[in-house]
Structure formats: C-alpha cells, structure tokens
C-alpha cells in the first residue's frame, strides 16, 4: 500500500519529517536538543498548540513519559506499515550511515528507526515546513546542524 502524510498520525508525520531534515547525531553536536525524540516532541507541540515545551520534561530537554510512549507506538505502527525499520540496539543511529571518526548516537530501538520510505519522509518534512509555528524551529535546527557539520569537517571528519 502507498501511504501519504494524510494517512499518518501527527507523531508519525513529525517523526518522518524530522528523520528527513538531516540533523547531525546529538553526540557529535554535543547537544541533547538534537536528539530525535526531543526534536520530534517539540515539532508535535508546536504544530498542535504552538508551544514547544508541551511534550518536554521540567529540564526542557528530556521528553515526557507520555510522549515517549506515543513515539514508541508511532514507530511500531510505521514499522508494521513498512515505512521505517527497527535497527539493532547499539548500532549507529546516524541517518546517513556510519563513517569512522564521527561521534554517533547509538540506536535505542524504541527511539531511532531507519527510514525506509524516503519519499514519504520528504513529503512529511515539506508538510512540517508549511506549518508557520514549526518552520522557524526546524530552520533553526537545520542552520545549527550546518554549524555542527562545518565544525566536524574543520576537526578532520570526512578527510
């Protein structure tokens, strides 16, 4: 079956869109606000209520238990549909793959699936960029990720 963003829940759309943005691993960025669960939680909160902290804990970084469960359910549903695939625990979680010398996030199988349907992921990303409350946040993440990738290259990554 072919799926479109309209066939998915808000959490599923946000997850696929965030996976498609091309953010660096949070460990390489040195910033937990690049974590997949964090960015997805902020996007869902901004889209639904215009508030980034809706699904974040008191520290403003970790996601709430309720959102973590919703994210796990979304991943399981997307996996059943063949849109994402679970990755083995402890494997690199960088969406572009593993390259030597890159500090990477290791897979928590509940939080970081591999995107199988990249076309649908792009559609979801475009949908998120069209939400006025979400656009500035994702563009800020994208701009900051450019700074991280430049720093990594300056430090010899990819050489």
From residue 120, how far is each of 5, 54, 70 by CA, in Å?
A: 7, 26, 20
pLDDT exceeds cutoff 80 at 83: yes
> Which phi and psi (to 5°) does residue 106 adopt?
-95, 145
For residue 90, what pLDDT is reported? Answer: 56
State how far the Cα of 21 lies from the Cα of 36, in Å rounded to an integer.
11
Q: What percent of the chain has pLDDT over 70?
A: 83
Mean confidence (pLDDT) of the chain: 85
The arithmetic mean of pLDDT across residues 39-46, rounded, is: 97
User: Does residue 29 come out as left (phi exceeding 0), alpha (psi in the -120 to 50 range) or beta?
Assistant: alpha
Which residue shows structure tokens 């709430």?
64
State how far the Cα of 113 lies from the Cα of 61, in Å rounded to an integer.
20
**What is the pTM (predicted TM-score) of this model?**
0.84
- Which pLDDT band, with edges at 50, 70 and 90, does 93 fall under? low
CB 60 within 8 A of CB 32: no
């Amino acid at each position: 079956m072919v799926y479109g963003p309209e066939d998915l829940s808000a959490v599923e759309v946000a997850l696929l869109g965030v996976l498609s943005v091309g953010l660096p691993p949070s460990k390489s960025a040195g910033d937990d606000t690049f974590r997949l669960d964090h960015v997805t939680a902020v996007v869902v909160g901004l889209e639904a209520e215009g508030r980034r902290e809706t699904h974040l804990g008191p520290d403003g970084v970790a996601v709430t238990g309720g959102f973590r469960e919703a994210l796990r359910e979304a991943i399981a549903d997307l996996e059943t549909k063949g849109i994402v695939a679970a990755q083995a625990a402890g494997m690199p979680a960088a969406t572009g793959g593993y390259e030597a010398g890159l500090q990477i996030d290791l897979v928590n199988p509940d939080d970081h699936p591999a995107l199988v349907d990249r076309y649908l992921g792009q559609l979801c990303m475009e949908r998120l960029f069209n939400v006025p409350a979400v656009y500035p946040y994702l563009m800020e993440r994208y701009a900051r990720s450019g700074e991280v990738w430049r720093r990594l290259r300056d430090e010899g990554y990819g050489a």
